[in-house]
Amino acid sequence: MNFRFLTLLLFFVTTHVSAQEPRPVPAAPIIGASSYVLIDAKTGHELASLQPDIAVPPASLTKLMTAYAVFKALAGGQVTLEDEVTISENAWRTDGSRMFIEVGKRVSVQDLLLGMIVQSGNDASVALAEHIGGSEPVFAELMNQYASALGMHSSRFINSTGLPDDNHYATARDLATLARAIISEFPEYYRWYSVREFTYNGITQPNRNSLLWRDDSVDGMKTGFTDDAGYCLVASAKRDDMRVISVVVGTSSAKARIDGSQALINYGFRFYETRLVYGAGTEIANARIWKSTNEYTSLGVLEDMYVTLPRGSYDSLESTMNIPAILEAPVAQGQPLGEISINLHGNALLREPLRALQDNPSGSFWQRTRDGVSLWFE
């Protein structure tokens, strides 16, 4: 008997709950943008899009990546918020929006971050880039390395500000990926994206994201504008336990980017929901382990398993588990032993490995011998 072949056999366990007819989801609103994408922040599930993978000039949306690189430096202990940065003439002379820092003055990293995030200061962006990278070109290479690590393979950054350059581009999908990373990795710094105004050098400037005043559920993130890029906005909002991220680029006015972003956010919350399906460390199934100390091992997922689906469809979900017919010890905690699939009306929404929730070492000589004989008859 070929036991190697038997280990490839799978059995299927499917849990059905009372099925309903799928609720209709209308088409996403038309918002007059050249490109957009709307995703759920927790799962990354795409809720709506229009040409999300075309390369576009990102304008000041670039500063999201500048901030991400600074946050990484803070997390790694390379800099602190209290570090004082000596402002170069190069940073002071940078064109475009500014926080009005002065040559030779020393400004804290925290103030520069607020000047960049709230006031969209190009001068602050360059000062931060020079402080961390030594020069803006070196810092831009760091930005690209982080972009690659995040899977932003359709974007390239030449500077820290978003000032026009033919080789400086991004996609709406990549920018959504970046926004999601900032929110999940750096919640302690993400809160600055909801600051409505910031005062530096006696000059108070408001946050250009006017959605912060229009919609209380909106708490970020960043506007952008150049002649080539048009009016752009990355926005994020949280209602109850669901957060969505919208990226809108290439609209014709500041009002159009706000109205379009609001329409997408409302659409996401109205027609979709994100639900916890299985909690981390919860036993979902158990599997027979041959030649082991314990006859059975609990299986589950190591991180909370969420799924995004049309609102009202939760009771129609199906869970399918695929587990090899024969599993043998030793088994290590966290070892993948099968797969679980979450399906809705025959379509797979999510697949994750089923993992052992505890160690199950090899059994005694007697247990191994007994099970070895039993397997001949299996």
The catalytic residue among 42, 63, 222, 291 is 63
Instruction: Enter the tokens of residue 351.
Output: 């697949």
Contact present, 169 and 34 (Cβ < 8 Å): no
- Other beta carbons less than 10 A from residue 278's beta carbon: 20
Provide the 8-state DSSP code for 357.
S
Q: Is 105 a residue of the active site?
A: no
Checking 129-135 for CB contacts under 8 A at 24+ apart, the result is 129/66, 129/159, 129/160, 130/85, 130/88, 130/90, 130/91, 131/79, 131/83, 131/85, 132/69, 132/70, 132/73, 132/78, 132/79
**Cis amide linkage into residue 330, ω under 30° from 0:** yes
The catalytic residue among 120, 160, 261, 316 is 120
Q: Is 49 a residue of the active site?
A: no
Residues β-bridged to residue 203: 200
CA angle 106, 88, 107 (to 5 degrees): 20
The catalytic residue among 35, 49, 60, 210 is 60
Q: Is 222 a residue of the active site?
A: no
CA distances to 194, 209, 234, 247, 252 from 213, in Å = 10, 8, 15, 18, 21
CA distances to 7, 262, 282, 324, 354 from 361, in Å = 19, 55, 21, 18, 18
Contact present, 231 and 251 (Cβ < 8 Å): yes
CA of residue 232 relative to chain centroid, distance:
19
User: DSSP alpha helices (H): ranges in the chain?
Assistant: 3-6, 62-75, 89-92, 109-117, 122-133, 136-149, 172-185, 187-190, 211-214, 254-271, 365-377
Active site residues: 60, 63, 120
